[in-house]
C-alpha cells in the first residue's frame, strides 16, 4: 500500500499471504501480491544481502479475523506477538548488509512502541515523534559494527 512504485525492479516485496483483488467493507478494493510468500520470522533469504529492509508488521492484536483492519493489515497473535516480532527484527538484521538500514513502521493502536522496541537490542537512530494524537511511527535503524 505505501510503495509509490508497487513493482519496482530493485525491490523484493514479501508477505505471508496472497490476497486477490477484494472489496473491503468501506467499498475500496485492495490486494496483496508479494514477489515471494515468506514468513518474517524465518526469511528464506541469505545473510547480509540487502542494503535496505522495510519492516511493517501488523499492529493489531485480538482483531476479529473478518474485521476490516485484519483483512487489510493482517493481525498479530495475542499469545505469540512478542516472540514473533522479536524473530522478525532478528531476521531483518540478519539479511541486512553491514551498515544497512532498517526502516520500521509501527502504529500504537494496541501496543506501545516502547514495548516493541524492547524486542530488539539494536537502538533506533531517529524517527518521528508523533505525540499522543498521531500513533504511527517511522523509525530508522542501522546495522553498525557493534550491532549483535
Ligand atoms: C501493515 S501490513 C503491511 C503493508 C505494506 N507495508 C504495504 O505497503 O502494503 C502488514 C502485513 O504483514 C503481513 N504479515 C503478517 N504476518 C506475517 C508474517 N509472519 N510474515 C510475513 N508477513 C506477515 C500481513 O499479511 C500484512 O499484509
**CA-closest residue to ligand 1 atom 12:** 57
| DSSP 3-state of 103 | strand
pLDDT tens digits for 12-25?
999 999 999 988 77
Domain ranges of the chain: 42-142
- The CATH number of domain 42-142 is 3.40.50.150: yes
Residue partners of 14: CB distance under 8 A and separation at least 6: 34, 35, 36, 37, 38, 40, 43
List ligand 1's pocket residues with C-beta within 6 A: 1-3, 15-17, 32, 39-41, 56-58, 73-74
**CA-closest residue to ligand 1 atom 15:** 74
Provide the grid cell at 133. 494524537
pLDDT at 122: 96
Q: Which atom from ligand 1 is nearest to the alpha carbon of 84?
A: 19
Provide the grid cell at 73. 493489515
Q: CA-CA distance, 15 to 23, in Å (whole number)?
A: 19
pLDDT tens digits for 80-137?
999 999 999 999 999 999 999 999 999 998 899 999 999 999 999 999 876 677 889 9
Amino acid at each position: 500500500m505505501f510503495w509509490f512504485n508497487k513493482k519496482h525492479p530493485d525491490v523484493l516485496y514479501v508477505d505471508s499471504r496472497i490476497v486477490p483483488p477484494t472489496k473491503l467493507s468501506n467499498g475500496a478494493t485492495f490486494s496483496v501480491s508479494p514477489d515471494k510468500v515468506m514468513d518474517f520470522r524465518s526469511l528464506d533469504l541469505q545473510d547480509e544481502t540487502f542494503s535496505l529492509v522495510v519492516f511493517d508488521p501488523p499492529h493489531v492484536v485480538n482483531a476479529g479475523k473478518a474485521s476490516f483492519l485484519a483483512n487489510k493489515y493482517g493481525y498479530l497473535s495475542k499469545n505469540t506477538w512478542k516472540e514473533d516480532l522479536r524473530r522478525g527484527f532478528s531476521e531483518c538484521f540478519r539479511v541486512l548488509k553491514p551498515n544497512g538500514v532498517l526502516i520500521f513502521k509501527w502504529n500504537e493502536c494496541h501496543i506501545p512502541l516502547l514495548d516493541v522496541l524492547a524486542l530488539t537490542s539494536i537502538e533506533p537512530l531517529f524517527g518521528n515523534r508523533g505525540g499522543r494524537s498521531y500513533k504511527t511511527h517511522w523509525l530508522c535503524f542501522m546495522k553498525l559494527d557493534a550491532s549483535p
